[in-house]
C-alpha cells in the first residue's frame, strides 16, 4: 500500500503509516518491516490492535512508535 501511495501521488515522503501490520514476534519479518519503514524515513508509525508484543515492543524501541487504540484521536 505504501508503494502504491508513493506511485499514485508522486510524493516520496511518507508522513505516517497507520494500521494492521499483523506482526507478533521478534523475527525476520518484523525486523525487515522495521528496516523498510526506516529506509522510507516515515515520520510516524502507528500500529494497531493486531500488532502484539514482542513485535510491538520492537516498533516502540526502533521507530519510537505508539500503538493506536480504539477511539484514539490523532493530530498531524
pLDDT in tens, the chain (76 residues): 899 999 999 998 999 999 889 999 999 999 999 999 999 999 999 998 889 999 999 999 999 998 888 888 888 8
User: Kindly report the CA angle at 14 between 69 and 29, in degrees rounded to 5?
Assistant: 65
The pLDDT assigned to 49 comes to: 85
- φ, ψ for residue 44 (rounded to 5)? -135, 130
Q: Domain map of the chain by residue range?
A: 2-63
pTM, two decimals, is 0.85
Amino acid at each position: 500500500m505504501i508503494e502504491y501511495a508513493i506511485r499514485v501521488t508522486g510524493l516520496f515522503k511518507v508522513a505516517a503509516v497507520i494500521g494492521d501490520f499483523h506482526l507478533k514476534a521478534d523475527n525476520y519479518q518484523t525486523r525487515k518491516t522495521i528496516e523498510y519503514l526506516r529506509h522510507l524515513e516515515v515520520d510516524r508509525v502507528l500500529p494497531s490492535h493486531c500488532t502484539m508484543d514482542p513485535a510491538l515492543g520492537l516498533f516502540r524501541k526502533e521507530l519510537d512508535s505508539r500503538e493506536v487504540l480504539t477511539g484514539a484521536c490523532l493530530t498531524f
